[in-house]
């Protein structure tokens, strides 16, 4: 209690005069308007860089960002727990303590204390917004992946989508034979979720032979201890830019953990767009030396393609789904049952917030951009690259 009672006299003379109590702007100073400058620089900078994608790609995403982010990511990876989750759970008591302190001081000094607290809050939010842009938001303006990789993204006939979906169904079924199962016949990770989080970066290292910009130092994703609660939001993973940290919901079925790990790790390399992070996760998955990752990447790509095919041609979708092995069916059903248990108002609110966030960062499709990965997969399929490589590096 002493910490709240220690402050006994005002910091500025005359704050309690009748005139200052009547003025709504009491406590404001001319330099306080500068609190908005970092946020305006961040907002304007994102729009400016979006107009020069080649410059953003070459000088910011490929150079400046890596110089800033790699040391932060190295430090985050050294910490054995999720710094993001620690911040979330510590934020509420911190806000309560600070709010109580401001309230007690306001009882003595009046309205100016609330004004100064508000100004400090604006400074914190404004600077945080600028840091967010430096560590993530500016990447929304980088060169589109299709252009970087020479992929032709265009409207394609449903027959092409059906062909790719059929191929993914067959290869997913093929790789399913190399994974382990539990007593219910559902996939389990041979090294557990911890092993998957630790080894995800290997997929990027192997993929960098063909895609140099995917080269990643030893870096691990983090398990969220409160994943069971997190599932109510419908979120399987989250990238937190301030720590350059990939976080994964490890309560969901094992078949989804490797592909989610790769998606979130792709964000740590500066790939902000959701469809591109999903596609890069697929590339890292099929190059990964662990068959668990290969299968998870193929399964995830099949689910995206299958959903698109179902909307376009339900009859063809039925024929394509018929080739799935029983093991793949069990894994897909396990995912469906899991997420159905967590559907509700929290999940719907979370989806709306995520949709608003994506649209505020120039992703016009919002949450639908997650499904836009099918366009990249189709372009990759048309270029006859979707299956490269299909075996482990040592030939097994």
What pLDDT digit, counting tens, does each position of 65-113 carry?
999 999 999 999 999 999 999 998 988 888 887 767 766 776 666 677 7
State the DSSP H helix or E strand holding residue 238, giving kind and residue range, or none if neither.
strand 237-240
Q: How far is CA 80 from the centre of its chain?
A: 20
Exposed e or buried b per residue across 75-103, where buried means at least 16 C-beta atoms within 10 angstroms of its C-beta: ebbeeeebbbbeeeeeeeeeeeeeeeebe
In this prediction, residue 102 carries a pLDDT of 65
- Please say whether the beta carbons of 145 and 362 come within 8 A: no
Who contacts 28 (Cβ-Cβ below 8 Å, separation ≥6)?
A: 115, 119
Instruction: Say if residue 271's pLDDT is above 80.
Output: yes
Burial class from Cβ neighbours inside 10 Å (0-12, 13-18, 19+) for residue 280 reads buried
Phi, psi of 7 (to 5 degrees): -75, 115
Q: What pLDDT, in 10s, does the model give residues 321-373?
A: 899 999 999 999 999 999 999 887 765 666 676 567 666 665 565 444 345 78
What residue segments make up the domains of the chain, in order of their start? 2-141, 146-382
Instruction: Say if residue 209's pLDDT is above 90.
Output: yes
Mean pLDDT estimate for the chain: 84
Q: What pLDDT, in 10s, does the model give residues 109-161?
A: 667 777 777 788 888 999 999 999 999 999 999 999 888 888 888 888 889 99
How confident is the model over 235-257, as a mean pLDDT? 95
In this prediction, residue 168 carries a pLDDT of 95
Tokens found for residue 193: 């979720």
Specify the residue for token string 């093929």: 174
In this prediction, residue 3 carries a pLDDT of 42
- Provide the 10 A C-beta neighbour count for residue 179: 21
Q: What is the pTM of this model?
A: 0.85
Closest by alpha carbon to 265, among 76, 57, 68? 76
Residues of the chain above pLDDT 70, percent: 81
Tokens found for residue 141: 């303006």
């Amino acid at each position: 209690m002493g910490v709240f009672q220690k402050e006994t006299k005002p910091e500025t003379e005359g704050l309690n005069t009748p005139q200052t109590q009547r003025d709504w702007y009491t406590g404001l100073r001319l330099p306080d308007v500068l609190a908005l400058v970092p946020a305006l620089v961040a907002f304007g900078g994102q729009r400016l860089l979006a107009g020069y994608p080649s410059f953003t790609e070459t000088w910011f995403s490929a150079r400046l960002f890596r110089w800033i982010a790699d040391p932060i990511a190295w430090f985050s990876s050294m910490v054995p727990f999720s710094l993001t989750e620690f911040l979330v759970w510590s934020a509420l008591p911190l806000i309560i303590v600070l709010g109580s302190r401001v309230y007690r001081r306001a009882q003595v000094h009046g309205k100016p204390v609330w004004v100064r607290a508000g100004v400090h809050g604006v400074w914190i939010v404004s600077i945080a917004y600028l840091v967010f842009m430096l560590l993530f938001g500016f990447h929304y303006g980088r060169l589109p992946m299709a252009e970087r990789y020479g992929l032709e993204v265009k409207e394609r006939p449903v027959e092409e989508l059906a062909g790719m979906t059929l191929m993914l169904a067959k290869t997913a079924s093929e790789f399913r034979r190399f994974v382990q199962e539990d007593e219910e016949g559902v996939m389990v990770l041979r090294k557990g979720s911890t092993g998957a989080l630790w080894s995800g970066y290997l997929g990027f290292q192997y993929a960098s032979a063909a895609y140099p910009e995917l080269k990643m130092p030893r870096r691990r994703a983090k398990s969220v201890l409160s994943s069971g609660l997190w599932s109510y939001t419908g979120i399987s993973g989250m990238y937190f830019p301030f720590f350059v940290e990939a976080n994964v919901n490890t309560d969901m079925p094992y078949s989804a953990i490797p592909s989610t790990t790769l998606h979130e790790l792709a964000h740590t390399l500066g790939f902000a767009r959701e469809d591109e992070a999903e596609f890069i996760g697929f590339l890292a998955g099929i190059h990964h030396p662990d068959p668990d990752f290969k299968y998870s990447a193929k399964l995830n790509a099949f689910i995206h393609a299958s959903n698109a095919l179902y909307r376009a041609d339900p009859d063809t979708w039925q024929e394509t789904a018929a080739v799935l092995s029983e093991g793949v069916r069990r894994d897909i059903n396990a995912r469906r049952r899991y997420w159905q248990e967590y559907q509700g108002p929290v999940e719907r609110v979370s989806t709306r917030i995520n949709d608003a966030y994506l649209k505020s960062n120039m992703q016009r499709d919002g949450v639908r951009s997650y499904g836009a990965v099918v366009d990249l997969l189709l372009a990759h399929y048309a270029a006859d690259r979707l299956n490269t490589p299909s075996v482990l590096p040592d030939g097994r």
